[in-house]
Amino acid sequence: MGTIIGLAVLTAIDWYLVRKTGLHIHQLIAKKYAEYLDGKENRK
């Protein structure tokens, strides 16, 4: 039962992010990680 609730929560979060940012969770994480790496390179 907890698995179903967890999936429902993740689906709701993904739906909210798609509406606000136009990106799914994995796309948003990849974008933020790329920005982090760019910032890290620029500081050197």
Provide the pLDDT for residue 10.
Answer: 92
Element at 8 (helix H, strand E): helix 2-21
Query: How would residue 30 be classed by pLDDT, with cut points 50, 70 and 90?
Result: very high
Tell me: pLDDT of 1 over 90. Answer: no
**What value does the mean pLDDT take over residues 10-17?**
92
Higher pLDDT, 18 or 43: 18
**C-alpha distance from residue 41 to each of 28, 29, 31, 34 (Å):** 20, 18, 15, 11
Tell me: pLDDT of 5 over 80. Answer: yes
**C-alpha distance from residue 17 to each of 1, 38, 40, 42 (Å):** 25, 23, 26, 28
